[in-house]
Chain A
């Protein structure tokens, strides 16, 4: 049974080691190994390694840049915040200063106004006094004029005098 099964296999040379074929295989495979190692695998593998190194370095650099960018962003944020605070302070100060100036101006204006009013009042008073004086003189002149007229028409000198004095007294009391 066993021999029947194995005989055709042996007869067909399926399990024969063939020296010629072995030599062919050794030559072909050895040449292939040498040629491919030197002219194919070496450049391909070094190319792959080079590329992987590039990718690795690029990633590292990207990471570094990201960290740097984050740091810069944080710093910018901090600086911006600081500037904002400063600006606010400046605005506050400006507002205060403005307020102060406004108050000052108002005060000065008020004082000036008051001074103006006072001066006006004094001037009015002065004018009034002058006007009164002028009026008095005018009135006296008028009185004299009137008296003269009256006297000329009807009265003696004596009555005339009495009358003048009465008028003067009246004027003085008023």
Chain B
């Protein structure tokens, strides 16, 4: 059963890659990045792609389109690359150009030849007015919402069980409750309590739990077929790290700020230098937090795509070589996939424990006045 599923999974991935590779114009071309970057569509290759609605805010107001193609056909918007580099020549003026523009370059029966738009999908106004805000739902956004829905769908009913007394007055019942309780108790007893201490941990535990499960679910959704990793998006991880950063600063005691701006127990001449170092350190911590999560989640996916891509690169040289490489590639991919599962859990844990450590650092009360250390 397990083998069947993984086999099916690899088959789907291969199909997706094959489709991507074959569409390259000059021989074999593999677009690794399009698998990990954000986009304005859901990728269900080989079943097709589903464009997501666009929400654009510009001086004219809020524009809502059901899809990127619809936004392009509206005429007021062009791909951002066209705004910078100029539209590809097609003839027939702006009207024809808008009519031809399709997000995935599909050709309509009887219509003029379509112009393919890259999958980045950023839009600019044709008339040069600025687009203030692009609130369009992206695939990372969709999977982030899905993760949020899963969190609510799992933990609100679970909380109802505790309210009803199961787990409160009796032992937790069933593997489902036991599973989640194991995680919750782990975060409480192994992450929050030892780092934040008995008197503070209760206050920050809800944030740590939310961050842990949100990241974990986002990570795991990236491993589901047709899924996307929201935590493989630098914006998402930066926002999450910012939450930890803000909570840390709000939690900061007088001692914490004194250690940053006027380090006690250090010669006065050195203090300005330390202030600079500490001030930079303030921001490197959440920066590292954001980069670590983003890079870890992206790297695994890139590795999988590259290893499977070997099949098509070698296949491009000679079909026999492609078939020879395939078993090796699939085997290694399965290994990396297993590793990815571990990394998904591990990175959620690391983000959570580092958040706890940073907050704990800001909470610390130092009891050494001017003594050397």
Contact = CB atoms under 8 A, between A and B. Distances in A.
Interface of A: 8-9, 11-26, 28-29, 31-33, 35-37, 39-48, 50-51, 54
A168 to B, nearest CB: 130
B167 interface: yes
Chain A contact residues, majority secondary structure = helix
Sort A-B residue pairs by CB-CB distance and give the 4 closest, nearest first.
Answer: A47-B162, A37-B206, A47-B168, A40-B155
B37 A12 contact: yes
A14 B33 contact: yes
Interface residues of B, number: 52
B236 A21 contact: yes
Given A19-B133, A28-B145, A36-B209, A13 B188 contact: no
A96 to B, nearest CB: 65
Contacts, number: 135
A47 B235 contact: no
B38 interface: yes
Contacts of B202: 45
B134 interface: yes
Interface of B: 33-34, 36-38, 55, 120, 122, 133-138, 140-141, 144-145, 148, 151-152, 155-156, 158-160, 162-163, 167-169, 171, 181, 184-185, 188, 202, 205-207, 209-210, 214, 233-236, 238-240, 243, 298
Contacts of B137: 24
A42 B239 CA distance: 24
Contacts of A14: 33, 36-37, 234, 298
Contact of A12 (B34, B156, B181, B209): B34
A37 B235 CA distance: 24
Contact of B152 (A36, A41, A43, A44): A36
A15 B234 contact: yes
B205 A22 contact: no
Given A26-B239, A29-B243, A51-B169, 15 more contacts: A13-B38, A13-B120, A14-B234, A20-B135, A21-B236, A23-B133, A29-B148, A36-B152, A41-B155, A41-B159, A44-B159, A44-B162, A48-B181, A48-B188, A54-B169
